[in-house]
Amino acid sequence: MKNATTINNTAKQALVSNCRVIDNRALNEEIYKITIHSPEIAKNAFPGQFVSVLCNDLMLRRPFSIASCIDDQIEIIYKIKGKGTEYISSLKKNNEINIMGPLGKKFNISEEKSLLVGGGVGTAPLVFLSKVLKEKNIPHAFVEGYRTNTKIGKIHADKIYTITEDGSSERKGLINDYTEEILSVEKPQIIYACGPLPVLEYIVKTSQKYNIQSQVALEREFACGVGVCMGCSIKVKENGSVVNKRICKDGPVFDGESLLWN
């Protein structure tokens, strides 16, 4: 890792550094995975945290959940949406990439039986979480939903449910179509989720219906990424009141019951 500097107290332990691309490949027509040599981030990151990537000459960095930390490398799963992700997809082996991280709040891992639910690139932090749960011998199942069947990475769960919109997996449809059926089989005590807002809202409300704890990692584009600009502010319930929280600094992981959907 070259030119690494620690940023100020706004994001403790986070580094800004020029790192080397190890691999960058398409997983399907729209989802990609980039592997980056970054020993310090790999050593300090936890599931749910993210990195912020400098994309060529664009002013704002782009945030991405950390999908895996293996030895001295990290993996990021991303979808091409605009100029920033187009730039990242153009990077080749041994190119430099400037990243800042790890940033944000991690999942609060429970020892209880878990269900992990990820939609699209929202599976990324849950792949990382699955690895950690396996290391801790915590039983868990994994629900992944895509437009078409995608090999997102190694998932360490006891059971994997793959749902695709085009029917290229054993279950055709949307995550919401199968949630209650899977809950009745797995009977989890806690749900961890990340993905599109409609999926997260449904997961949280369904978990409340069955009195199951939930933690949700929210996805959004950030400006500063370290809690200064307030550009990613949302309202949540806290101690009986509605308060403002920053997704990048106070999240991206929140208790599901604290979130306001309207």
* Closest alpha carbon to 71 in 134, 130, 22, 136: 22
In this prediction, residue 93 carries a pLDDT of 97
Q: Are 87 and 55 in contact (CB under 8 A)?
A: yes
Q: Choose the weakest-confidence range: 6-10, 201-205, 221-225.
A: 6-10
**Which one has a higher pLDDT value, 214 or 29?**
214
* Closest alpha carbon to 132 in 64, 217, 70: 70
Say yes or no to pLDDT of 238 above 50: yes
* Ranges for all domains in the chain classified under CATH 3.40.50.80: 114-258
CA 97 from chain center: how many Å?
20
* Half-sphere exposure in the Cβ direction for 158 (13 Å, CA): 12
The secondary structure of the chain, three-state, reads CEEEEECCHHHCCCEEEEEEEEEEEECCCCEEEEEEECHHHHHHCCCCCEEEEECCCCCCCEEEEEEEEECCEEEEEEECCCHHHHHHHHCCCCCEEEEEEEECECCCCCCCCEEEEEEHHHHHHHHHHHHHHHHCCCCEEEEEEECCCCCCCCCCCCEEEEEECCCCCCEECCHHHHHHHHHHHHCCCEEEEECCHHHHHHHHHHHHHCCCEEEEECCCCCCCCCCCCCCCEEEEEECCEEEEEEHHHHCEEEEHHHECCC
Q: What is the pLDDT of residues 8-61, one digit of tens each?
A: 434 456 788 899 999 999 998 889 999 999 999 999 999 999 999 999 878 888
Q: What is the pLDDT of residues 115-137, one digit of tens each?
A: 999 999 999 999 999 999 999 99
* Closest alpha carbon to 72 in 24, 22, 38, 35: 38
In this prediction, residue 8 carries a pLDDT of 40
Where residue 193 falls among pLDDT bands split at 50, 70, 90?
very high
Span 2-103: which CATH code? 2.40.30.10
Q: Choose the weakest-confidence range: 108-112, 148-152, 187-191.
A: 148-152
* Ranges for all domains in the chain classified under CATH 2.40.30.10: 2-103
Say yes or no to pLDDT of 3 above 70: no
Percent of the chain with pLDDT over 70: 93
Average pLDDT over residues 186-193: 98
Which CATH number applies to 114-258: 3.30.365.10, 3.40.640.10, 3.40.50.80, 3.30.70.3270? Answer: 3.40.50.80
Say yes or no to pLDDT of 208 above 50: yes
Instruction: Name, in order, each residue with C-beta under 8 angstroms of 196's C-beta and a sequence gap of 6 or more.
Output: 119, 120, 122, 219
Measured between alpha carbons, how far is 138 from 120 in angstroms, rounded to an integer? 24
